[in-house]
Structure 1
């Protein structure tokens, strides 16, 4: 399944610099607002040591990791919900992504102009969040205007749904109009299902990404502390990254050079590797593997998926004609050394349609269509 994250924030907070480092793709980075108009898109492999271990043991012809798609969306400004700074165009791009990575400037640099003339991470976050909430409020208003017609529809399912959603939208519109995100609006599971078709921006999961300078990675960065305090109020996640440092790592040609650079900097992983994993896990995504002599491959599935749904990630025919799944866990492969020894140890299982696929399962699907 495809996973894409939109990278948003005010102009000049380091979005394009981070995107370039993340994807090694050419995104224009300049010291003036709106240098990114059309969104840049990059595909990034999700680092997974388990995939590397499986490859060493199975020795396939090729190895294919799972991926995350990152979309670099132009800097939003105050008034974007009303079309300021090409706001309508940018907001349209954000609606298409699964999750939002909100880059927040957490560094001082007199040579890089801040759109507000001062560094205030909390204020920056609220500026973006208010614009996104107001844009969502407009969507909810338009939906409400169509409800009277839908309530009179001869199709009972349509009319009943319209009547059920009306009181929810009234309360949600008031909430959004105050500049508050839909994700912190209290709704039942059924109510969330009713409003899901509106594809509200502020209903999407968000990760606040603090962009710091090389001296600001430590825990005593006051800017980062303020972001974490803000994020805790809405249950959002926070990551810290040094865009400049990540750009230097990305410019190195070999993995050996990158490893040496990280070791010299006292880091086990690059901030971008951590970011990719966090974005993957933020949406409740997990990984299973298929393994054979031709190919070892990682596949993304939603946590809680049954075997047929996980099979459908490979191809809809696999789900439609699902018969059974032959399964063992990668941990058993690592402990025993080969698939044959896994079988001899009784760790190889046959599972049916009701099996809950586990993160790290190695699966061979049987199907017939």
Structure 2
């Protein structure tokens, strides 16, 4: 099975890194994501040196509808952490630019949003003086591959201790991954077995991280894309990436982030023939690739979304709210989201219609479940 399967189902969710060449709109996109001006945006390479970090709410129509049904006093969404990482350049793996520091920042995140320049603008310099998104992607990915090969070289150069099965397994995996990388295959696409996963994970490889290609286009191309986004789409298809490239206009997203009301945002999007903003696709795509899902707790006081990995059992899901819920878990009264909406948020109606189930600690929580935990404390 490909390593990407284990990364999605067994990996830990730390944060999402926005990666790309200098001067492609990373900081502008980050500001839009976090609805802030935390990242300095300027027209020269290495404007961002230390990574900016921000929490981003995951767009959630289900949460909005549950809250509307119950007319809750407060609504709390789930969040992802995004990191704006400075622009990589060719030679980063050999320390060019601020290479080692940037690669170290990428190593800390769980997923890569690879932003690609798909716009022409004479006023914004390009490191290669020519717009070619596929070449730009390959430049970044080559540097990540070279960095991984360097770290694997150290593993392979360590003296083998045949008497130690763990070290032997580490060598075998490092050799297999190294051969794949030398052929241009990222670590996430290497076949590994269940028992090899912990050793593979401990290698902390840059190319093992799930990736979403995100095309930054001018405002005029936000709805339909352009010839450059088509190039990225074709390249992504050949690579077999799970999430299709997302088309965004960082300028539109930045302006949108500064609008206060939902009505104003809707009207603004309509000006560009858009029904929703591109950032929602980026955030939800990241959520999916990280193997995450949401369940809900709902009352008239508060409606809240909770993040859990796919496959989480009820007892552990309760522990996300509070450790006491996990320790003293008795049961979880559970209503599927569609049933909750169908019953108009009425718990009694759901119970009368047999839509509310009483689940034990080993129940595997489904995405969208509305849960009412009972515990002894």
TM-score tier after normalising by the smaller chain length: over 0.9
The residue that corresponds to 2:17 in the other structure is: 6
Output the CA distance in 2 between the equivalents of 1:187 and 1:80: 28
Distance in 2 between residues matched to 1:144 and 1:317, nearest whole Å: 46
- The corresponding residue for 1:344 is 352
After superposition, the C-alpha distances for 1:293-329 in whole angstroms (9 at most, x for unaligned) are 3321101111122212222322344334433211112
For 1:85 and 1:2, the matched residues in 2 are separated by 29
Residues 309 and 145 from structure 1, CA distance in 2 versus in 1: closer, same or farther, beyond 3 angstroms? farther
In the alignment, structure 1 residue 231 sits paired with structure 2 residue 236: yes
Other-structure match for 2:375 = 367
Q: Of residues 109, 113, 119 in structure 1, which corresponds to 2:131?
A: 119
Matched, 1:275 2:282: yes
Whether 2:79 is the aligned partner of 1:72: answer no
228-237 vs 173-182, which moves further: 173-182
Q: 2:166 aligns with which of 131, 136, 161?
A: 161
* Cα deviation, residue 18, structure 1: 0.9
Deviations 1:319-345 (A, max 9, x none): 344332111122222111211211111
Q: Is 1:130–2:138 an aligned residue pair?
A: no
Superposed displacement of residue 3, structure 1: 5.2
After TM superposition, the structure 1 stretch with the greater mean CA deviation from structure 2, 236-245 or 220-229, is 220-229
Report the CA distance between 1:142 and its aligned residue.
Answer: 2.1
Partners in 2 of 1:367 and 1:286 — Cα distance? 23
Q: Which residue of 1 aligns with 2:252?
A: 245
- Which among 78, 101, 105 is matched to residue 113 of structure 2? 101
- Preserved CA contact (<8 Å) 1:3 1:67: no
The residue that corresponds to 2:9 in the other structure is: none
User: Which whole-Å CA distance do the structure 1 matches of 2:131 and 2:181 have between them?
Assistant: 26
Structure 1 residue 42: Cα displacement: 1.4
* Shift in Å, 1:160: 1.8
**Are the aligned partners of 2:222 and 2:272 in contact in 1 as well (CA < 8 Å)?**
no
- The residue that corresponds to 2:8 in the other structure is none
Task: Provide the rounded CA distance (Å) in 2 between the counterparts of 1:24 and 1:224.
Answer: 25
Query: Does residue 300 in structure 1 map to residue 307 in structure 2?
Result: yes
In the TM superposition, residue 147 of structure 1 has moved relative to its aligned partner by 5.6
Q: Is the Cα–Cα contact under 8 Å of residues 130 and 180 in structure 1 kept in the other structure? A: no
Describe how 1:175-194 pairs up with structure 2 within 5 A.
175-194=180-199
Q: Return the alpha-carbon distance in structure 1 between the equivalents of residues 13 and 196 of structure 2.
A: 26
TM-score by length of 1: 0.92
Number of positions where the alignment pairs a residue of Structure 1 with one of Structure 2: 362
| Distance 1:179-1:37 versus aligned 2 partners, 3 A rule | farther
Residue of 24, 34, 46 corresponding to 2:58: 46
Residue 77 of structure 1: how far off its partner (Å): 0.4
Q: How far 1:121 moved relative to its partner?
A: 0.7
Structure 1 CA distance for aligned equivalents of residues 225 and 117 of structure 2 = 16
Query: Is the counterpart of residue 17 in structure 1 residue 28 in structure 2?
Result: yes
CA contact (8 A) 2:223 2:274 kept: no
Q: Which runs of 5+ in 1 are unaligned?
A: 153-158
The answer as to whether partners of 1:284 and 1:303 remain within 8 angstroms in 2 is: yes
Alignment of 1:204-219 (within 5 A): 204-217=209-222, 219=224
State the Cα RMSD in Å. 1.9
Task: Tell me whether 1:288 sits opposite 2:295 in the alignment.
Answer: yes
